[in-house]
Chain A
Amino acid sequence: MSLLQGIAASSGIAIAKAYRLVEPDLSFTKQTIEDVAAETARFEAAMATSISELEAIQKVAERELGAEEAAIFTAHILVLNDPELINPIKDKINTEKVNAEHALQETTDMFISMFEAMENEYMQERAADIRDVTKRILSHLLGVKIVNPSTISEEVIIIAEDLTPSDTAQLNRNFVKGFATDIGGRTSHSAIMARSLEIPAVVGTQEATRQIQDGDILIVDGLTGKLHINPTEELIAEYEAEQQKFEAQKAEWAKLVNEKTMTVDGEHVELAANIGTPEDLVGVMNNGGEGIGLYRTEFLYMGRDQLPTEDEQFEAYKKVLEGMEGKPVVVRTLDIGGDKELPYLQLPEEMNPFLGFRAIRLCLEEQEIFRTQLRALLRASIFGNLKIMFPMIATLDEFRQAKAMLAEEKEALVSAGEKVSEDIEVGIMVEIPSTAIQAELFAKEVDFFSIGTNDLIQYTMAADRMNERVSYLYQPYNPAILRLVKMVIDASHREGKWTGMCGEMAGDELAIPLLLGMGLDEFSMSATSILQARSQIRGLKKSDMAALAEEALQMGTAEEVVQAVKEKLSFITQ
């Protein structure tokens, strides 16, 4: 038995067999063969296995995805039966006395280059189908396993270097009990997906794909980030007990799914969810989200090779707005740059990407990208309760420019006869200290604030949160941060506006009492944190928390604040 330590990315405990989702090694060398008949038989066996494998996949695809999607496998099966493919390969084995792998590769390469040379884009893409089929036959000739997550039919824990969005989309949720990756952090795509799928996950283990074999028994501890490989019976029993406790706790929280988030003294706050794609709505509903506090639109732009069109965006926004059935949806306009790149925009590399050309800065410069998004948002606005939020605002002037562009696009749409909602609130993310300090001025012009704590903390403390040597300065509870938060909330309330918070801090057990006490109106977090937060808030008295927050603001260090909150909480639970 051994243990890997990673980053806890999605809570819960999973115990199951490992399933490695790793690209197989399909390399081979050209060889001269003596026994032509045996080589031909070997080739025919590989073809037969490939065909029966594809037929099985086709059945699963038909059931899970529908006939349309399964049709591609019919074409693949026909390719495997194609005399124009099979005969040249057999001829090569016969006359050139080469191994089947080589004969196969040479023949399919010929078809691949032929399709690639065709002018029709659709036909060019068919080259990919032939590559796919070739890979399958090769894997059987070489006796290596080719992975296909959509055909998993027993309970497993997925082990991968990293998981792409398309990998995660193909996972069969009935059988995938958890996953662990080599790379990634709490905010990497795979971690966010794991939380929205409510699958326990550990990311950033560095070693998982090297140390784990298919079929190893694993324990994924999504609470502490531990990944146990082939644990002892005792440890499994311990974790099973832990798992039961966690499930019982979850069942307890689940009772609050349709309840309001009210404090003991009758104050209501809104618990909303952060989402990345329309698919995340299921998790929001299952966890009783009262709205979407942050819709990260950048996922629409990532993992592709060109900008999304206005219509593609419109469809995504409409889906989210309709899905939320009139509940508020705060959409953040494109927040790209910094650590999130779009290769196809070909932005020059920067010395300090976090302090560089990103988010609203990029949008105000690359106006067509921004205006396309604004038009899509405006057109979608009639399908629900849309609120638009601009990220990384540093100056009033930036906000005014962005708002003016929004007004221009609205005007243009309306005069073109398009329907646009009359009441779309427009707000900003507060994540740069200059904006927090000027909150009083901003509050007169915005409809709402949403505090982005991850960035606000790193900019206030002047410490890159990705740099391990200064990570001790990432201090959500530092009184400096609390004071900025308080300033923003107070400023918004004086103008009759509201303040939300999106970011890890809003769902943090120790921060919630303080934020509640300071008067935060909306808490936006991972959907899976909502019920726990609701359960906690329903046990707190807002007036008590206001007094606690007032004390905390006068303290000197983050440690003192944490200590005070812990004492107060343990007093309450006693």
Chain B
Amino acid sequence: MAEKQFTVIDEAGIHARPASVLVSTANKFQSDIFLIHKGRDVNLKSILGVMSLGIGSGEEFAIRAEGTDAEDALVELEKTLQNEGLAK
């Protein structure tokens, strides 16, 4: 299992376009991947799930991956978050 904490830096929060990128990245991995925000965790392979959290700018969230490629998934997702200027 791998888990890491992030803070949203995109002014618009996690809106449709970056959510798409995030979900597409998560879909590349075997592991179960979750996004945890204010005590709720949703499937990161679900765009509806991610968007339903309505995470705004400045808010904190965590990503947790469980499975054989969990470590790789987390590294890749962190890279995506940074490249997109979405979170740090």
Contact = CB atoms under 8 A, between A and B. Distances in A.
10 contacts: A71-B16, A74-B24, A75-B20, A78-B20, A78-B47, A79-B47, A111-B52, A120-B13, A122-B12, A122-B15
A409 B51 CA distance: 45
A265 B20 CA distance: 68
Interface in B41-84: 42-43, 45-49, 51-52, 54, 56
A118 interface: yes
A82 interface: yes
Nearest to A120: B54
A86 to B, nearest CB: 10
Given A71-B16, A111-B48, A122-B13, 15 more contacts: A72-B16, A74-B20, A75-B17, A75-B20, A82-B49, A84-B49, A85-B48, A111-B52, A114-B52, A115-B51, A119-B54, A122-B12, A123-B51, A126-B16, A130-B48
Interface of B: 12-13, 15-17, 19-20, 23-24, 27, 42-43, 45-49, 51-52, 54, 56
B56 A75 contact: no
A82 B46 contact: yes
Nearest to B52: A114
The CB with the most chain B CB atoms within 10 A, among A74, A85, A114, is that of: A74
A143 B8 CA distance: 43
Contacts of B24: 74, 78
A75 B12 contact: no
Interface string A92-124: 000000000000000000010011001110110
Contacts of B16: 71-72, 75, 126, 129
Contacts, number: 53
A115 B53 CA distance: 10
B20 to A, nearest CB: 5
B56 A126 contact: no
A74 to B, nearest CB: 5
A83 interface: yes
Nearest to A71: B17
B56 A82 contact: no
Contacts of A118: 54
Contacts of B49: 82, 84
Contact of B46 (A84, A122, A129, A130): A84
Contacts of B12: 122
A232 B31 CA distance: 65
B52 A78 contact: no
A498 B27 CA distance: 69
Nearest to B43: A84
Nearest to A77: B20
Interface of A: 71-72, 74-75, 78-79, 81-85, 111, 114-115, 118-120, 122-123, 126, 129-130
Contact of A79 (B13, B17, B48): B48
Contacts of A75: 16-17, 19-20, 47
B20 A126 contact: no
Contact of A83 (B43, B51, B54): B43
Contacts of B27: 81
The 10 closest A-B pairs by CB, nearest first: A84-B46, A78-B47, A75-B16, A75-B20, A82-B46, A123-B54, A84-B49, A71-B17, A74-B20, A118-B54
A83 B20 contact: no
A74 B23 CA distance: 11
B23 A78 contact: yes
Nearest to A80: B47
Contact of A71 (B20, B48, B54): B20
A118 B13 CA distance: 14
- Residue from the set B27, B42, B52 with the largest chain A CB neighbour count within 10 Å: B52
A527 to B, nearest CB: 38
B63 to A, nearest CB: 17
Contacts of B19: 75
A104 to B, nearest CB: 14
Interface hub of B12, B16, B20, B49 (most chain A Cβ within 10 A):
B16
Nearest to A130: B48
A130 B47 CA distance: 11
A121 to B, nearest CB: 11
Nearest to B21: A74
Residue among B17, B49, B51 facing the most chain A CB atoms (10 A cut-off) = B51
A61 to B, nearest CB: 14
Nearest to B47: A78
A75 B51 CA distance: 11
A81 B13 CA distance: 23
Contacts of A81: 27
B52 A82 contact: no
B46 A83 contact: yes
A72 B19 CA distance: 11
Nearest to A125: B16
A51 to B, nearest CB: 14
A404 B51 CA distance: 52
Nearest to B42: A84
A129 B15 CA distance: 13
B53 to A, nearest CB: 10
Q: Which of A78, A79, A111 has the most CB of B within 10 A?
A: A78
Contacts of A119: 54
Most buried by B among A75, A119, A129, A130: A75
B14 to A, nearest CB: 10
Contacts of B48: 79, 82, 84-85, 111, 130
A167 to B, nearest CB: 24
Contacts of A123: 51, 54
B52 A115 contact: yes
Contacts of A72: 16
A72 B15 CA distance: 11
Contacts of A82: 45-49
B15 to A, nearest CB: 6
A79 B23 CA distance: 10
